[in-house]
Amino acid sequence: MYRIAKANLNALYAAIAASKELYLPVRSAGKTNFAAWTEGAEVDLDTLKTVRSPKDAFFPQSENLYTCDRTDGKISITPEALQEKPFVVFGMKACDVRGVAVLDKVFLSEPVDSYYAARREKGIIVSLACSRPAVSCFCQTFGIDCAAPEGDVATWMAGEYLYWLPQSEKGEALTAELAALLEETDDAAVAEEKASIAAICDRLPLKGLSLENWGAAAADKNFDSPLWEQLYKPCLACGTCTFVCPTCQCYDIKDYSTGTGVQRFRCWDSCMYSDFTMMAHGNNRTSQLQRFRQRFMHKLAYFPANNDGMFSCVGCGRCVDKCPSHLNIVKVIKAFGKEGV
Amino acid sequence: MQELIHRAKSLLESGEVSRVLGWKKGENVFDVEPAFFATAEELENFVYNGFCGANLSKYMIEASTWEGKTLVFLKPCDTYSFNQLCKEHRIDREKAYIIGVGCKGKLKAEKLGAENILDVQGAGYPDCSDTLKVTTLYGEQEVAYKDAMLERCHVCKGKEHQVYDELIGESVDTCDADRFAEVAKIEAMSPEEKFAFFQAELSKCIRCNACRNVCPACSCRKCIFDSTKFDSNQKANTTSFEEKMFHIIRAFHVAGRCTDCGECSRVCPQGIPLHLFNRKFIKDINNLYGEYQAGVDIDAKAPLTSFRTDDAEPGVGRG
Amino acid sequence: MSEPMHECKYNPGFMRDTLIPQVALITDIRTETPDVKTFRVERPEGGKLFEHLPGQCAMVCVPGVGEAMFSITSSPTNKLYQEFSIKRCGVLTEHLHSMQAGDQILVRGPYGNNFPVEGELKGKNLLFIAGGIALAPLRSVINYVLDNRENYGDIDILYGSRSADDLVQRKEIEEVWSKVPGVKVHLTIDREQEGWDGHVGFVPSYLKELAFDTNRTAILCGPPIMIKFCLQGLKEMGFAMEQVYTTLELRMKCGVGKCGRCNIGTKYVCKDGPVFRFDQVDELPNEY
């Protein structure tokens, strides 16, 4: 266990940024989101949840795949360079770190997505324990401990210090690079902080949220439930829930005209959007009920069925906080839990 | 609130309406959701309190296509949107039974520290109090009701319902600011300052389309931004220009029809003050063509869709 | 994925990235019907783009216009090129129809599973049933089977379309398929037409008239309404759902089960399909 005085964090950021890209929560125009660190950036480690999840660091909202040029009718393709520079994502919460594990299941399964794989290889996750979990948090439901986050390095804020614990080879290497700024210490303060977090977690209103009636077995039995008809009605068909979600991974592939050629890029897409499954000759999900059902069935039934029981939700609660109609996955989980099917 | 439930039940029972469109209790005091109620039993979950900011008018577009009348509860500001949608022939007045509900200002949970709220006392209706007692995970706090209100309530257009079948409940005037003050402040900025301001705000946009989808003026069956024949149905900000383009074009599309209901700013997950675009248009329309408030008079000629020989021609001078 | 995908020469650090296409040269375009053309593609320097198996698909892209999944209609036994039969029905297909031989496009693949020509279908009598453009996915199997004739039993091909002019690959059907021993071709069109002396009537009713015995495996492709009634007909004849194959088609972007849009329940049509047996289809939620 190491520590660094909070007052010295700026020096830590500068040291990391000297050789790597550094992404961390930055407050700008009244909201905190992960952004590249620059000298003078308003780093905000107190806001529990960034509006967007840090999944951007590995799976950006928009990224070029290749550029396509046409000369004399001949097409040539130049693939976008893969991530080469190492980077650090600092301040990821336990739920968001698990979110990356969910994305891994998708992008690192065969055939491997090389754009994502390169970022995973070059990316170093420095997680941060949640000192003040919120009412909308339910990571416990997915077996996540926000007091002991996964990641290459785990950190805790306690008193005047940030405590630092490498947890992987990458984490050890980063720690060695920053040795001049970190001092060794015992884990008494962290143990105390963990106990304090655990005490708060015990009081969270969503503690004990049960996934009974969900999981692989729900893939068949929940599909035709009349509950969907009641649940989807207020849905505005916007993409807020999908775009703030750390595990939503649906994407679209599109073209952007550069004038002389075409940039083919991919960008986040939302299963809530009306044209998501539309083809020239038809659409298999024409109603918002179907699209709404797809999102939750995917997270809570289809994904676990295809991934050894792992849910595609980490209980970060962003959708709970942000849905304009206050619909959310908790209401869906509970509706099925209560009434069975 | 019991009065509203009681009235809804009796209208359902008598068969006058086939369903009720209102607000439903959520998991927490503040996460009220818009909902349709079909039975007296379901109405037990009906709620009307300070957190019922959602404007239900837009849901009437779909409800207008269903059999029978829908009882819809509308706050004073919601009725402007309802009228405007009637004017645009998007909803059918005959399919609605409107109960105008009193309003004492609506709250923004975020201003109370939404993520930690366990309970809020004093936000009920009709007996809301000047001070909210907020119980959070990390202790109690008291917040003046006014300090937790939505921006739009501070510049309220008035507590008179523009359309209704009956009225229930008293309102309280919450207006304590000039509706165009913020716009004037931006107008006074230098071009560089303006650009920096909007750049900072709009670069937060995640293109979730919540503003568009909640907007009662955005009622096109198919939005231009969803057209696959057009480069703009791109869900991401491919360039820093595009995010601005989306919001500015949207503001142009709703100009003259926007009632300033404030839903766009209420739902934006990134807290972008989108209402400022619309309000700029309203301010300019007022200045150029005379005072006009969309949603007041269904039969009034709208300034941007009517022509007079003495119309102002901005940039050209009076014609 | 039954066949390994081509190595990605663009990203040497990785074996492959399936999202990067190959440049393909259109070497021939045949007009099949008023709204269907068959495109032959090869590498610009000559030769096949990749190896595939019968039933597999590939993403065809015109940069700046669009990209969509099409079944590869040529048989893997064709060692020279690949073919796609494409019906004009949207922005991309409209553009493809305006293209000429010598134009270049982008193709990536192959994607998806395949008809079990070396597995469950081997040694069986086969009944192919297709309507309209849906002959495209079956053509790759039919030609594969005909090129390995000794491995299969009797073959019946029941194919129908709106009119005689809408029959795809008519030349090949009449001049090649009909002449192979043990192959019977049954053509039908929806309505009487001058110059047509063949069968008239919808595919499902012709299927009933033909009254096949159940000692065969059926492969059924066509518009949903045709599938529905043909399936009913096959059931009445005593076919088990395990004896009938089809292909499904949904909107796709990536082709490898990651972009999240072509799933029906837990199955992704792009990688778990497009070929399904009807007993498998029956297990899927009703959303296709």
The chain B residue lying nearest A332, using CA atoms, is: B27
pLDDT, mean of residues A50-61: 96
pLDDT for A188: 96
| pLDDT, position C69 | 94
A198 and A224 share a domain?
Answer: no
Domain boundary among A136, A167, A202: A202
- What is the DSSP annotation of B115-172? GGEEEEES-BSS---SEEEEEETTEEEEEEGGGGB-HHHHT---S--SS-SEEES---
> Mean pLDDT across chain A, nearest whole number?
94
Is the CB of residue A237 less than 8 Å away from at least one CB of chain B? yes
Q: What's residue A86's pLDDT?
A: 97
Residue numbers of A between 25 and 44 with CB closer than 8 Å to B: 28-31, 33
Q: How far apart are CA C18 and CA C6, in angstroms?
A: 9
For chain B, positions 257-296, list CB contacts with chain A under 8 A: 266-267, 269-272
- Side-chain half-sphere of C16: how many Cα atoms within 13 Å? 15
Helix ranges (H only) for chain A are 9-19, 94-107, 114-122, 169-177, 188-202, 218-221, 227-232, 240-244, 288-297, 303-306, 318-322, 329-339
Contact A61 B209 (CB under 8 A): no
Measured between alpha carbons, how far is B182 from B55 in angstroms, rounded to an integer? 23
- My answer on whether B55 and B189 are in the same domain is no
Give me the pLDDT at residue A281, please: 67
Reply yes or no: is the peptide bond before residue B126 cis, omega within 30 of 0: yes
Q: How far, in whole angstroms, is CA A33 from its chain's centroid?
A: 12
How far does CA B55 lie from the centroid of its chain? 5
* DSSP E strands, chain B: 19-24, 33-37, 70-74, 96-101, 117-121, 131-136, 139-144, 166-168, 312-313, 317-318
Phi, psi of B125 (to 5 degrees): -130, 135
Does residue B128 belong to any structural domain of this protein?
no
**Chain Cα centroid distance, residue A79:** 26
Residues A63 and A189 grouped into a single domain = yes
Q: Are B20 and B160 part of one and the same domain?
A: yes
Work out the average pLDDT over B292-298: 94
Cβ–Cβ below 8 Å for A31 and B32? no
CB-nearest to A252 from B35, B201, B235 is: B235
Considering only CB atoms, which chain A residues are within 8 Å of B36? 233
CB pair distance less than 8 Å for A203 and B137:
yes
- Interface contact A271-C19, CB threshold 8 A: no
Quick one: B193 and B95 in the same domain? no
Q: Which residues of C touch A117 (CB under 8 A)?
A: 14
Mean pLDDT across chain B: 92
Same domain, B163 and B230: no
Determine whether the interchain pair C20/A284 forms a contact, defined as Cβ–Cβ distance below 8 Å: no
Query: A residues 208-267 near C, CB within 8 Å?
Result: 219-220, 223-224, 249-253, 255, 257, 261-262, 264, 266
Is C106 close to A253, i.e. CB distance below 8 A?
A: no
**Domain identity same for A135 and A165:** yes
C-beta atoms of C285 and A223 within 8 A: yes
Q: Which tops the pLDDT comparison, A277 or B229? A: A277
Task: Kindly state whether residue B134 falls inside one of the protein's structural domains.
Answer: no
Please compute the mean of the pLDDT values over residues B284-307 and round it to a whole number. Answer: 91
Q: Are residues B161 and B257 in the same domain?
A: no
| Residue that the structure tokens 């498998």 belong to | C280
Chain A nearest C-alpha distance from C44 (Å): 9
**pLDDT recorded at residue B233:** 61
Confidence class for position B317, pLDDT limits 50, 70, 90: low
Instruction: Provide the number of CB pairs (under 8 Å) joining chain A to chain C.
Output: 142
Selecting from C65, C104, C288 the residue whose C-beta is nearest the C-beta of A74 gives C104
- Asked if A243 and B33 come within 8 Å (Cβ–Cβ), the reply is no
CATH architecture of C22-111: Beta Barrel (2.40)
The answer to whether residue B67 scores a pLDDT higher than 90 is yes
Q: What is the mean pLDDT of residues C101-125?
A: 95
Q: If pLDDT is split at 50, 70 and 90, which confidence band does B286 have?
A: very high
Tell me, what's the pLDDT at A205?
94
Structural domain count of chain B: 2
In a domain, B87, yes or no: yes
User: A249 to chain B nearest CA, in Å?
Assistant: 14
> How many percent of chain B have pLDDT more than 90?
77
**pLDDT for A202:** 96
Contacts C15 to A, Cβ<8 Å:
112
Domain boundary among B114, B142, B168: B168
Residue B145 lies in a domain: no
Residue C8 has pLDDT above 70, yes or no: no
What value, to the nearest 5°, has the Cα angle with vertex A254 and ends A249 and A260?
145
Q: CA A2, CA C183: separation in Å to the nearest integer? A: 78
Does the pLDDT value for residue C3 go beyond 60? Answer: no
Last residue of a domain, one of B114, B139, B168: B168
Q: Looking at A75-89, B45-59, C13-27, C124-138, which range is the least confident one?
A: C13-27
A271 → closest Cβ in C23, C260, C283: C260
Res. A279 pLDDT band, cuts 50 70 90: confident
The confidence score (pLDDT) of residue B241 equals: 63
Put simply, whether C4 touches A (Cβ < 8 Å) is no
Residue B288, SS3 per DSSP: helix
pLDDT at B240 (0 to 100): 61
Q: Which of A250-264, B49-63, B263-277 has the least mean pLDDT?
A: A250-264
Cβ–Cβ gap A132/B238 under 8 Å: no
What is the pLDDT, as a whole number, of residue A254?
A: 87
CB contact under 8 A, C63 and A262: yes
Residues contacting residue C288 through CB under 8 Å, at least 6 positions apart: A284, C248, C250, C264, C269
Average pLDDT, chain C: 91
Q: pLDDT, tens digit, for every residue of A116-165?
A: 999 999 999 999 999 999 999 999 999 999 999 999 999 999 999 999 99
Whether residue A123 is contained in a domain is answered as yes
pLDDT of residue C9: 41
Kindly state whether residue B10 falls inside one of the protein's structural domains. Answer: yes
**Is residue B163 domain-shared with residue B203, that is, in the same domain?**
no
CB-nearest partner of A279 from C251, C266, C285: C251
In degrees and rounded to multiples of 5, residue C179 shows phi and psi of -95, -5
Q: Is A84 on the interface with C (CB under 8 A)?
A: no
A111 with A145, same domain: the answer is yes
**Closest-approach residue (CA) in chain C for A272:** C261
pLDDT for position A185: 97
Q: Is residue B144 in a domain? A: no
**C79 and C91 Cβ atoms separated by less than 8 Å:** no
State the pLDDT at residue C1. Answer: 32
User: Over the stretch C34-92, which tens digit does the pLDDT of each residue have?
Assistant: 999 999 999 999 999 999 999 999 999 999 899 999 999 999 999 999 999 999 998 89
How confident is residue B17, by pLDDT bands cut at 50, 70 and 90? very high
Q: How far apart are CA C227 and CA B49, in angstroms?
A: 54
Pair (B87, B205) in one structural domain: no
pTM above 0.90, yes or no: yes
pLDDT tens column, A157-195 = 999 999 999 999 999 999 999 999 999 999 999 999 999
Domain-wise residue ranges, chain C: 22-111, 126-247
List, in sequence order, every residue forming a beta bridge with C23; answer none if it has no partner: C106
Q: What is the mean pLDDT of residues B178-194?
A: 96
List chain A residues with CB under 8 Å of B31: 320, 326, 328
Q: Which pLDDT value is given to residue C4? A: 35
pLDDT at B14: 97
* Mean pLDDT, rounded, for C123-134: 95
Read off the DSSP letter of residue A43.
B
Give the one of A135, A324, A334 whose C-beta lies nearest to B115's C-beta.
A135
Model confidence at B183: pLDDT above 60: yes
Instruction: Evaluate if residue C12 carries a pLDDT over 60.
Output: no
Residue A228 lies in a domain: yes
Question: Cα–Cα distance between C126 and C218 in angstroms, integer?
Answer: 6
Domain limits for position A250: 218-339
pLDDT at A255 over 50: yes
Is residue A38 domain-shared with residue A127, that is, in the same domain? Answer: yes
**What is the number of domains present in chain A?**
2
Q: Give contacts of A266 with chain C, Cβ < 8 Å.
A: 19, 253, 259
The 3-state DSSP class for residue A22 equals strand
A69 and A175: one domain? yes
Predicted confidence at residue B232, as pLDDT, reads: 61
**Would you say residue A45 lies in a domain?**
yes
Can you give the pLDDT at residue B231? Answer: 61
CB atoms within 10 A of CB C230: 27
Show the 3-state SS of C157-170. Answer: EEEEECCHHHCCCH
* Domain extent for B11: 2-106+154-168
Say whether both A183 and A227 belong to one domain: no
C194-229 pLDDT, tens digit each: 999 999 999 999 999 999 999 999 999 998 889 999
Sign of the four-CA dihedral A330, A334, A336, A337: positive
- Domain assignment present for residue B34? The answer is yes
Confidence (pLDDT) at C171: 93
**Which DSSP string do the residues of chain C spell out, in sequence order?**
--SPPPP-SS-TTSS--TTS-EEEEEEEEEEEETTEEEEEEE-TTSS-S----TT-EEEEEETTTEEEEEE--S-TT--S-EEEEEE--SHHHHHHHT--TT-EEEEEEEES----TTTTTTT--EEEEEEGGGHHHHHHHHHHHHHTGGGS--EEEEEEESSGGG-TTHHHHHHTGGGSTTEEEEEEESS--TT--SEES-HHHHHHHH---SSSEEEEES-HHHHHHHHHHHHHHT--GGGEEEE-----SSSSS-SS-SEETTEETTTT-SEEEHHHHHHS-S--
CATH 3.40.50.80 fits C126-247, yes or no: yes
Query: Which subunits sit against C, judged by 3+ Cβ pairs under 8 A?
Result: A
- A-proximal residues of B, 69-128, CB under 8 Å: 114-118
Are A250 and A161 contained in the same domain?
Answer: no
Chosen domain end from B140, B168, B196: B168
Q: Are residues B82 and B187 in the same domain?
A: no
Q: Tell me what the mean pLDDT of segment B222-228 comes to.
A: 82
Same domain, B209 and B298: yes
